[in-house]
Chains A and B, each alone.
Chain A
Amino acid sequence: GAVVSQHPSRVICKSGTSVKIECRSLDFQATTMFWYRQFPKQSLMLMATSNEGSKATYEQGVEKDKFLINHASLTLSTLTVTSAHPEDSSFYICSATSPATSGPYEQYFGPGTRLTVT
């Protein structure tokens, strides 16, 4: 099956700094990638939808200037949390989908990145 990786798996940063999270589709080309945020014992909340070569579409309430998303290639999307604060500490998950597979689309999920802002 299709594999999505994320790097790093865990990151600790100081308040006020920026941190970049990478999401890669390893064996397929992902025209669309999604970024989710998951708080402890809560569900996944969609942050933004990213299409290759175009600007990301952010969900209501998500600050686009704080959560910068870049989808420069068909296998890589990045999420940069700028000027991070402790309330940004969370589990960030990406998923990717591709029209190349036959049948209905399926979202393939990455393993997630645990961000802790101190």
Chain B
Amino acid sequence: AQRVTQPEKLLSVFKGAPVELKCNYSYSGSPELFWYVQYSRQRLQLLLRHISRESIKGFTADLNKGETSFHLKKPFAQEEDSAMYYCALSATSGSRLTFGEGTQLTVNP
């Protein structure tokens, strides 16, 4: 069975501070990991995926297979980063996604 855990439901930081949203997963094979973001009153959208190894809007995430983690990081948070963030896993490309519970990030001025 595949499972995604985001231990923090709420996370609040000040503008300019570093932010890390935690994500741990359990899956027996080699999954694909994603971070999705949902801004207020907008639809869910892909932020980044581990296989792309890219930085989007200053965010990065590294897959740590030893710790089964895929934490999302940004060195200097901005107010516009305030949103709901979901970590997700799929067994193979294009297959069903399993979502974590989500972390509501608030960046205060």
Contacts and interface: CB of A to CB of B under 8 A. Distances in A.
A97 B96 CA distance: 10
Given A44-B86, A104-B51, A32 B94 contact: yes
Contact of B96 (A43, A46, A106, A109): A46
Interface residues of B, number: 20
B32 A104 contact: yes
B74 interface: no
A43 B43 contact: no
Interface of A: 32, 34, 42-46, 49, 93, 95, 97, 99, 104-107, 109-112
B83 interface: no
Contact of A93 (B32, B42, B44): B44
A37 B60 CA distance: 28
22 contacts: A32-B94, A42-B101, A42-B102, A43-B101, A43-B102, A44-B44, A44-B99, A46-B96, A49-B96, A93-B43, A97-B94, A99-B94, A104-B49, A104-B51, A104-B94, A105-B93, A106-B46, A106-B49, A109-B43, A109-B45, A110-B43, A111-B42
A43 B94 contact: no
B74 to A, nearest CB: 22
A45 B102 CA distance: 12
B32 A43 contact: no
A44 B94 CA distance: 17
Nearest to B102: A43
